[in-house]
Structure 1
Amino acid sequence: MNKKYLMHIQTLFVVLPMTLIMAFVSVARNHGFDVGWGSKLLHSWTAMAPVAYVTAFFIIPFAKKMADRVASRF
């Protein structure tokens, strides 16, 4: 598989569960488990996931550089 596509798929598999967990915690904390909490969860998640996915591609290169710097010191 092309490495370019592999990076996109790996990022997707990291972002989707993380944003789902964050959306769940946010909805549970702010609204509790009242009627319609599932709908609130899906609305929150569909707003979070695309933003996090796009943002991840800006953060990953900087995080890699920082990790390389830290690892090179040891």
Structure 2
Amino acid sequence: MKKHSFKLINTLLVVFPMTFIMAFAGTIRNYGFGKDWFLLLLKSWSIMFPIAYGAAFIIIPNARKLTEKLVSNSKKEK
């Protein structure tokens, strides 16, 4: 599998369930299992998912660079 395809699919498989879980938690916390709770969940998730998916491509590379920097600094201290 090409590296670019792997990156897209891997990010999708992380962001999809995470945003769904967060949308579920937020919907149930704010509205409970009342009337149309599932529709509210889908509306919330449909906004969260594309934002999180796009943001992941900005955040993940920066987090990786910062982690590498922190880990390499801690190795130098030992």
Q: TM-score, normalised by structure 1?
A: 0.95
Deviations along 1:35-67, one digit per CA (max 9) or x if unpaired, are 110110011111110000001001111100111
Determine if the alignment matches structure 1 residue 8 to structure 2 residue 12: no
Structure 1 unaligned residues grouped into runs of 5+: none
What does residue 66 of structure 1 align with?
66
Cα deviation for residue 70 of structure 1 reads: 1.8
Structure 1 stretches of 4+ moved >4 Å:
none
Q: Which has the higher Rg, Structure 1 or Structure 2?
A: 2
Superposition CA RMSD, Å: 0.8
Spell out the pairing of 1:2-41 with structure 2 (5 A cutoff). Answer: 2-41=2-41
- Letter paired with 1:51: I
